[in-house]
Structure formats: C-alpha cells, structure tokens
Amino acid sequence: MRELAPAKLNLCLLIGPTREDGRHELLSVMAPITLCDLLELSDGERDEVHCPGVEGPNLVERALAGFRAATGWAGPPQRIEITKRIPVAAGLGGGSADAAAALRLLARRSGRRERAPLLALAAELGSDVASQLEPARAIVRGGGESVERLADGPPFGVLVLPAQAELSTAAVYREADRLGSPRSAQALAALDPLAVGALNDLQAAARSLEPTIAAALELATAAGAREALVAGSGPTVIGLFDRPQAAVAAAAALLADGVAAIAARPFPRAGASLG
C-alpha cells in the first residue's frame, strides 16, 4: 500500500503565548502542496520504519506504535518505507506529513478508520500532524489540534527555495521568545487569519538564526513572486505566484542558473484521505 505525504505551507503563521504543555498558541492558514514524500506499507518481520538518508528517531515510528496503542490493533508487523522529497528540518512539515500519511495507511490496513481516535493521536504526535491527517486548506488554532477545514481557494503557484542549512523548530521558537515575537492571547484572538495575508511571526527568528534566508527572500521576489516568506520555522523560503505556470517558469529559470528550486501547486483535496 502506498500513500503520498504532501508538504504543508503556512500561508500565514501567527504565534501567541506558551501554553502549559510547552507549545505556543498559534493561528495559521495551512495548505498542502504537491511537493510530497511517498510512504509504502507492507508486512514485515517486526514493526519498523526505513527512511534512507535521514538519521535519528522518526516521528513515523511513534505514529506506528501510537496507532496500535490507541486502536488496540494487533495485526502483523508492519514495515514503512519512506522516500523523501520534502527537505528535512525545513519548515515544510515533512516529518508531520509522513506521520499523518502513516496513520492513513494504518487505518486502511487495519480497517480501523474512526476519526476521533486518529485525530487525538495526531494531536499528541505534533502540532502539524492533525492538520495533515486529511490534507486540505484549513485554519489551525491552539497547539495545532483545532483544525477548521476550508473550501479550496483559487489556484496558485509556489516556488520553493530549499536551504543548505537546517533549523530546529524548537530553536526557532526559543529565538522568537527571545526577540519578543509572540503575541498576547488577546491580540491573537482578535485576528482573522484569512485577512492578514502572507505573514509569518517566526520569520524574524529564523532570519536571526540563519542569515542566508535574507538573500533567498530577495531571490524569490526577483523571480517574480508576489509574496516571499519563510516557510514555517524555516529555513526554506517560498514565493507565491497567482498562476501555477508562473512558478514553474520561475523554478526553471533558477535551475538553469544553478539555483536549487522546486515548483509546486495546491495538493488536490481528494489526493489523500482516510476514506
């Protein structure tokens, strides 16, 4: 069984105070895009996750163990093979996308597709997993566990400029706290995320930790993007275009100049689901 795991864009990302569980309150409009990892699920000799080129613990391992614990499924050992295309530690939610895709695969494999336990497990795994369990444009609140699905917006193009560096999400949030970036709870609650446009409250912190981001933002703007911003906690930079074809042309021009660039568009709503 195979499943695509689409990267997510924070079309806006507004950060509030730290909660008792250590996470920050957030308010974001998220959208999945066609830059995807691929997961393949098969019976194995033991539960295991294989992700070539990525070292260390994998969130998919926790998703697999958590799924068994949450649902009581005692099916045969499962092997999950991950083919990575989403840059690692880049602000595009690759690890969370993979964990969400693993839950979709396991739900199909086991026949246990009840949404409530899967959503609860996704929220425990990480702030981005719940919003990617059924990839679609959505407003995300709280620590990521509150997900309000939205109708598809107009088509648009995305220019993705991967960085050589990696940034720890936790480190970027610590830097945002040091810079005084988080908003008060009252200020966060007063905002309409659909009206604020392309705004990322973590951008200053990411730029502080990774100075090359500034040049990437300029490059995206020079390539014709109507908006350029840091993706999530960075260091990836994205450029937004009104037409998907314009993003494709911009990426092709940059690749011809030897600059790493990827063109993407919104991920189709029916492309990955629990159904």
How many whole angstroms separate alpha carbon 247 and alpha carbon 116?
38
Q: What is the pLDDT of residue 60?
A: 97
Q: Which CATH architecture has domain 157-264?
A: 2-Layer Sandwich (3.30)
The single-letter code of the amino acid at 94 is G
242 is catalytic: no
The residue with tokens 């996750």 is 49
84 is catalytic: no
Q: What is the pLDDT of residue 115?
A: 87
**Measuring CA to CA, how many Å separate 83 from each of 58, 127, 129?**
13, 23, 18
Domain edges within the chain: 2-152, 157-264
Q: What is the pLDDT of residue 272?
A: 66
Identify the three-state secondary structure at position 92. coil
Q: What is the pLDDT of residue 270?
A: 61
Tokens of 241: 């275009």
Look at the domain 2-152 and name its fold: Ribosomal Protein S5; domain 2 (3.30.230)
Residue 222: how many other CB atoms lie within 10 Å: 12
Q: Of 98, 128, 201, 242, which one is the catalytic site residue?
A: 128
How many whole angstroms separate alpha carbon 61 and alpha carbon 50?
9
Summarised one tens digit per residue, pLDDT across range 165-194 is 989 999 999 999 999 999 999 999 999 999
Residue 69: how many other CB atoms lie within 10 Å: 10
How many whole angstroms separate alpha carbon 154 and alpha carbon 151?
10
pLDDT, averaged per 10 consecutive residues of the chain (275 residues), comes to 96 96 94 97 96 88 96 97 93 95 97 90 90 94 92 94 92 96 95 95 97 97 98 96 98 98 90 59
The residue with tokens 């609860």 is 120
